[in-house]
């Protein structure tokens, strides 16, 4: 009789563990639609590129951003309690990565959509190689990024570079689209005020 009770108890514990494991929600990033997706913070059109980021809330809502700096601004304004998962993209492959597992490089001169100068990588070696290739930059983990001083490179914006970097979302050393394409896709800072 005791053997039956023990077996039943083990069975019930096993079922409880399985149900609890199945109940854990797994969040997946959604595809970027360049025709309709706008950054939650700056309202700029989002390119399906290496700079796009997103948050999936615990209730399944996808919040998309054109720059990791905009995603950070959202987190500062809204907190992190409602976040199910945060995603960034690998700069080389453009594959979605879990924010906490990525490596980041920063330099104020790196051109990103909103001039925050932060680029994400899946592999630490790729991040280091990028810094070596550029001849400048600092590598960070997500934990170190949390302590980062988030600033927009105003010099880039003042020199008219902001409009170009928004329009093209290209690499730090690449040439950029002219203002007409940037205005068409993203507007100007004056139009957003």
pLDDT for 179 equals 34
Is residue 178 very low, low, confident or very high in pLDDT (cuts 50, 70, 90)?
very low
Q: Is the pLDDT of residue 163 over 90?
A: no
Contacts of 110 (CB under 8 A, 6+ apart): 117, 118, 119, 134, 137, 172
Is residue 65 very low, low, confident or very high in pLDDT (cuts 50, 70, 90)?
very high
pLDDT for 155 equals 74
Which tens digits make up the pLDDT trace of 66-86?
Answer: 999 999 999 999 999 999 999
pTM: 0.69
Q: How far apart are alpha carbons 13 and 21 in whole angstroms?
A: 12
pLDDT for 67 equals 95
Q: What percent of the chain has pLDDT over 70?
A: 70
Is residue 30 very low, low, confident or very high in pLDDT (cuts 50, 70, 90)?
very high
Give 3-state DSSP helix, strand, coil % of the chain, rounded to 5.
40, 15, 45
Which tens digits make up the pLDDT trace of 113-155?
Answer: 999 999 999 999 999 999 999 999 999 999 998 888 887 777 7
pLDDT for 112 equals 92
Q: How far apart are alpha carbons 96 and 90 in whole angstroms?
A: 7
Tokens of 110: 């790196």
- Per the listing, tokens 């053997």 go with 3
Is residue 190 very low, low, confident or very high in pLDDT (cuts 50, 70, 90)?
very low
Return the higher-pLDDT residue of 15 and 166. Answer: 15
Is residue 183 very low, low, confident or very high in pLDDT (cuts 50, 70, 90)?
very low
Q: How far apart are alpha carbons 173 and 112 in whole angstroms?
A: 11
Tell me how far CA of residue 176 lies from CA of 24, 133, 183, in angstroms. Answer: 44, 19, 13
Q: What percent of the chain has pLDDT over 90?
A: 61
Return the higher-pLDDT residue of 58 and 8. Answer: 58
pLDDT for 38 equals 96
């Amino acid at each position: 009789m005791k053997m039956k009770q023990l077996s039943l108890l083990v069975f019930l514990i096993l079922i409880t563990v399985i149900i609890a494991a199945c109940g854990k929600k797994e969040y997946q990033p959604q595809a970027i639609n360049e025709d309709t997706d706008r950054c939650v913070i700056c309202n700029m059109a989002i390119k399906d590129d290496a700079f796009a980021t997103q948050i999936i809330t615990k209730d399944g809502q996808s919040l998309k951003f054109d720059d990791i700096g905009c995603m950070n601004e959202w987190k500062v304004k809204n907190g992190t309690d409602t976040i199910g998962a945060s995603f960034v993209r690998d700069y080389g492959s453009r594959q979605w990565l879990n924010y906490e597992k990525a490596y980041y490089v920063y330099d104020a001169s790196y051109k990103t959509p909103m001039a925050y100068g932060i680029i994400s990588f899946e592999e630490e070696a790729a991040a280091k190689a990028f810094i070596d290739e550029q001849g400048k930059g600092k590598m960070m983990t997500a934990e170190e990024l949390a302590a980062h001083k988030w600033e927009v490179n105003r010099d880039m914006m003042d020199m008219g570079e902001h409009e170009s970097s928004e329009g093209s979302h290209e690499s730090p050393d690449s040439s950029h689209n002219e203002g007409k394409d940037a205005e068409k896709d993203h507007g100007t800072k004056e139009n957003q005020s």
